[in-house]
Amino acid sequence: MILSIESSCDDSSIAITSIKTNKLLFHKKISQEAKHASYGGVVPELASRLHAIDLPNIFEETKPYHSNLKAVAVTNQPGLGVTLLEGIAMAKTIAVVKNIPLIPVHHLKGHIYSLFIEKDEILPLLVLLISGGHTQIIRVEGLNSMKILASTIDDSVGESFDKVAKMMGLSYPGGPIIEKLAKDGDEDRFNLPVPLRNSKLIAFSLSGLKNAVRVTIESLGGAVEMSRKDKCDLSASFQKVIKLHLIQKSKKIFKTENIKDFAIVGGASANLYIRDAFNKLCKEFGKELHTVPLEFCSDNAAMIGRYAIEAYKKRLFIDPYDIDIVSNKKRQSGTEL
Ligand code: KG4
Ligand code: ZN
């Protein structure tokens, strides 16, 4: 069995997975969302302190499995430095004390492997990753063969949902709140610009859209003056433009990449309106759409454990005294993840 740890942002999570069967034997996640909500976003030092409390508590619950552990895995990049360190310190200690191998896991590769929790791998695969920190289209051919084909040049999709929600005086995280309000809204009321619509660039950009939302809010007299209907309509109009942007750029990729299997992963892939649009697009292009069970879209250790099973088989270990956090880098397209 592998014990895996995730602490890259505001979720403390530990999982136990079976190397032989891919089965998820234990999984627990303590989300800190409510604790950060009043700040409108994640406060790194607070997140770090909460991991220091929650991770050892979850670890206690995994005791029945400890005698069967063959390896320990941990997210070591990308993420918040002070929160990654909490998981890494714990993983290092377990590896040294139990004398078992340590597997470092790239968080985004973990999101990709959330597709395969309790399942077999599907490769090659085209993946649209939409999370709080990243927005990318990736061609996945193997554990160490993941090429970024498109990337955001500014904000990420999840981040833009969070920022728009904050501007409207709504809580954090903004994604689920905006999706809910949008259900009651008129998506054609506000004419927001589709980013890079007339550009040949195969990339994403969300800061201009965010600005257009800000100007719209100001024209309505600011967040406090907005009625519920205003908020529903603006949420729906914003979400529609996000969908159009993602679809337009994915379509361009579909025309050049003939991989049959396509997947959407990451926290924002829980958005059913976006999923529905990709369902239609994939049908149009004869692609098979793969999605992640809603409970595993946002950060969790089960996906880290699933990646770690494949890494274990390939002996992708690291000396516990050498593991360190790796700061964010290489986000541009054309590079390996
Ligand atoms: O993958 P994730 O848990 O963390 C990162 O790795 O960044 O993604 C969190 C992000 C947040 O920005 C949140 O607002 C967004 O995912 N999100 C959504 C939805 N649920 C979560 N965005 C749009 N619609 C949703 N239903
Ligand atoms: Zn994530």
User: Is the pLDDT score of 265 beyond 90?
Assistant: yes
Nearest to 179 by CA among 248, 288, 246, 267: 267
Q: Which helix (H) or strand (E) holds 163?
A: helix 157-167
User: Is the pLDDT score of 328 beyond 90?
Assistant: no
> Where along the chain do its domains lie?
2-117+296-313, 125-291
CB atoms within 10 A of CB 170: 20
Taking phi over 0 as left and psi of -120 to 50 as alpha, with beta for the rest, 315 belongs to: left
Angle, nearest 10°, between helix axes 174-183 and 272-285?
Answer: 80
pLDDT at 136: 97
pLDDT at 331: 65
| Residue 263 CA, ligand 1 centroid: distance in Å | 16
pLDDT at 107: 97
What would the pLDDT profile of 209-244 be if each residue is shown by its tens digit? 999 999 999 999 999 999 999 999 999 999 999 999
In whole angstroms, give the CA distance from residue 245 to residue 132. Answer: 17
Determine the atom of ligand 1 nearest the C-alpha atom of 134.
7
* 3 state SS of 128: strand
| Least reliable range by pLDDT among 17-26, 79-88, 182-191, 322-331 | 322-331
Angle, nearest 10°, between helix axes 174-183 and 228-256?
Answer: 110
In whole angstroms, give the CA distance from residue 92 to residue 327. Answer: 18
pLDDT at 40: 81
| Residue 189 CA, ligand 2 centroid: distance in Å | 32
| Residue 267 CA, ligand 1 centroid: distance in Å | 3
78 CB near ligand 1 (under 6 Å): no
Place 37 in a pLDDT band, splitting at 50, 70 and 90. Answer: confident
Question: Which position has the higher pLDDT, 326 or 263?
Answer: 263
The pick from 109, 159, 242, 298 for probing ligand 1's pocket by mutation, whose C-beta has the most ligand atoms within 8 angstroms, reads: 298
Q: Give the CATH H-level superfamily of domain 125-291.
A: ATPase, nucleotide binding domain (3.30.420.40)
pLDDT at 108: 97
| Residue 296 CA, ligand 1 centroid: distance in Å | 11
What Å distances lie between residue 204 and 132, 140, 243, 245, 259, CA to CA?
14, 19, 12, 8, 21
User: Is the pLDDT score of 63 beyond 90?
Assistant: yes
pTM of the entire predicted model: 0.96
* Mode of pairing for the β-strands spanning 145-151 and 135-142: antiparallel
77 CB near ligand 1 (under 6 Å): no
| Residue 95 CA, ligand 1 centroid: distance in Å | 31
What would the pLDDT profile of 170-216 be if each residue is shown by its tens digit? 999 999 999 999 999 999 999 999 999 999 999 999 999 999 999 99
pLDDT at 324: 82
| Least reliable range by pLDDT among 30-44, 81-95, 241-255 | 30-44
What would the pLDDT profile of 101-145 be if each residue is shown by its tens digit? 999 999 999 999 999 999 999 999 999 999 999 999 999 999 999
173 CB near ligand 1 (under 6 Å): yes
The pick from 131, 171, 303, 304 for probing ligand 1's pocket by mutation, whose C-beta has the most ligand atoms within 8 angstroms, reads: 131
- Tell me which ligand sits closest to the C-alpha of residue 294: 1
- Spatial neighbors of 248 by CB under 8 A, at least 6 apart, are 194, 197
% of the chain beyond a pLDDT of 90: 94
pLDDT at 329: 64
pLDDT at 184: 98
pLDDT at 330: 59
pLDDT at 299: 97
268 CB near ligand 1 (under 6 Å): yes
State the fold for domain 2-117+296-313.
Nucleotidyltransferase; domain 5 (3.30.420)
233 CB near ligand 1 (under 6 Å): no
Confirm whether 2-117+296-313 and 125-291 share one CATH topology: yes
